[in-house]
Amino acid sequence: MLRFDHVNLAYGSQKILNDISFDIQDGQFAVFIGPSGCGKTTTLKMINRLIQPDSGHIYLDDKDISTIDRFELRRHTGYVIQQIGLFPNMTVAQNICVVPKLLKWPKDKCDQTVRELLEMVDMPYEQYAHKYPSEMSGGQQQRIGILRALAASPPVVLMDEPFSALDPMTRRSLQLEVKNLQQKLNKTIIFVTHDMEEALDLADVIIFMDHGHIVQIAPPEEMLENPATEQIQEFLGKHHAGPSPADLTVSHFMRTGIITVNQNRGINECVSRMQHHNVDTLLVVDEYRRYQGTVSIADIRLTGHVVKSIGPLVRDNTPVVHTGDNAKECFDQLISSGFPYLVVLNDDQTVAGIVTKTSMASAMAEQLWG
C-alpha cells in the first residue's frame, strides 16, 4: 500500500503541493489528472524520491520511504516517462536489463527476463532484442520503456504521461496493453495524464488535482456521476454531452485511421506493414482507394509463397456498413455476424473506419455515463 501523509512542498514562496494525503491499495491502477502545474507529476516523482517533500511522509507498505536508500528504492520502483528515455547507446535487451543488472542478477536470469517480457508484448526476441532504440518506432520504443520498468518485477510502477507523445492509434493499443499487464501481473500503477479519456479507460481510481491540492479521489464511474467541482465537470465535459441514442449513426462508433493496402502491392510489403502496425489483417483498396476486401496474415502464411501480389488472397466476406447507417442496426449486425469487426465505408466506397465490439462498447459507455 502507498500512503501520502500530509505532504507539502514549496519552491520559495510558491506552494507546489499543499497537504497531500491519500492511500492507494496494492494492485490498484491510480491515475493522477489535472491541469498543467497542478502538482501531479511532482507527486509522482516523490514516490521514487526524485523530489523530496518539505514536510510530511510517504509510506510504501508502511515503511517511510525517506528511510530507504534512494537508489535501492528506485531500483524497486518501475518508472516510465513521457520522453521514453530509452538509452540510445544500448540495445533493447540491454535497456530492459538496466535495473536487473544494477541489482546484480545473474546473466542468464537477465536473458530469461528479456525473453519473457518481449514475449508478453508480442515482440519476438530474435527480431527485437538486439535492435537499438533508433531503429524502432515510437510505439515500439515506449513498449520497451514499459518493459524496462517492469524488468525487476517492482510492485509499484510509476508512469509519467507515458503515451502523450504517441499517435492516437498507438496510444490506444499501448493503453490496452498496459491495462492487461497490470491485471496479469497485479502491479500497483501510479499513472499521470492530462487526458481524461485515458484516465477513464485505465483507472481503478482517479485522483484529480489542482493548484497543489487534491480536489477529488474517486473511481471513474463515481467521478462521472458526481464530479466534485465545476472544473472536473469541465474536464469530463465532452464525455457527457452527445446526440441522443436514436440519432446515432455508425460514424459515431467507428474507429478511424485504419491501415489499408493497395491490392497490387506485394506480399512482402503487406507483411512488413502488418508487422509495423502490429495488426493481423489489412483492408485492401484499389487505386481509387475503394474498398476491395481484407487480407489476413493467416492466408498469407498459408499461400503467400505461391503468389506475388496480395490480389488473389483478398476476401470480401467481411460485412460492410456505411457511415450514415443507423447505429443500432449496425450493432445487431456485428453481434449476429460473428465477425470481429465491420468495415465502414464512405458513400464513395472508400474506407472510413471499422466498428469493433470494443469501439462499440466504449462509445456506448460514453453515451451512458457521459
Residue among 73 and 202 whose Cβ is closer to other proteins = 73
* DSSP letter for each residue of 84-133: ----TTS-HHHHHTHHHHHTT--HHHHHHHHHHHHHHTT--HHHHTT--G
CB 150 within 8 A of CB 78: yes
Strands (DSSP E) found in 230-350: 260-262, 281-285, 291-296, 320-322, 341-345
Q: Which of 48, 113, 281, 367 binds other proteins (CB under 8 A)?
A: 48
Least Å from the CB of residue 74 to other proteins:
3
Sheet of strand 281-285, all strands in order from the earlier edge strand to the far edge: 260-262, 281-285, 291-296
Site for other proteins contains 157 (CB under 8 A): no
Least Å from the CB of residue 5 to other proteins:
23
Residue among 126 and 347 whose Cβ is closer to other proteins = 126
Q: Which residue has the cell 502488418?
A: 274
Q: Which residue has the cell 528515455?
A: 85
Q: Which is it for the CA torsion 187, 192, 195, 199, positive or negative?
A: positive
Site for other proteins contains 289 (CB under 8 A): no
Grid coordinates in use for 197? Answer: 479519456
Site for other proteins contains 89 (CB under 8 A): yes
Site for other proteins contains 135 (CB under 8 A): yes
Grid coordinates in use for 124? Answer: 519476438
Site for other proteins contains 217 (CB under 8 A): no
Grid coordinates in use for 244? Answer: 441522443
For the chain, helix, strand, coil in percent to 5 are 40, 25, 30
Residue among 89 and 336 whose Cβ is closer to other proteins = 89
Least Å from the CB of residue 76 to other proteins:
8
Least Å from the CB of residue 87 to other proteins:
6
Site for other proteins contains 105 (CB under 8 A): no
Q: Distance between CA 43 and CA 212 in Å, rounded?
A: 9
Site for other proteins contains 98 (CB under 8 A): yes
Least Å from the CB of residue 16 to other proteins:
18
Q: Distance between CA 81 and CA 79 in Å, rounded?
A: 7
Number of residues forming the site for other proteins (CB under 8 A): 30
Site for other proteins contains 88 (CB under 8 A): yes
Site for other proteins contains 68 (CB under 8 A): no
- Which residues, including other chains, have CB under 8 Å from residue 147's CB and lie 6 or more apart? 96, 117, 118, 120, 121
Q: Distance between CA 24 and CA 322 in Å, rounded?
A: 45
Site for other proteins contains 90 (CB under 8 A): yes
Site for other proteins contains 84 (CB under 8 A): yes
Site for other proteins contains 132 (CB under 8 A): yes
Residue among 86 and 310 whose Cβ is closer to other proteins = 86
Residue among 142 and 263 whose Cβ is closer to other proteins = 142
Q: Which of 99, 189, 327, 363 binds other proteins (CB under 8 A)?
A: 99
Residue among 7 and 152 whose Cβ is closer to other proteins = 152
Binding site for other proteins (CB under 8 A): 48, 50, 70-77, 79, 81, 83-91, 98-99, 102, 132-135, 148, 158
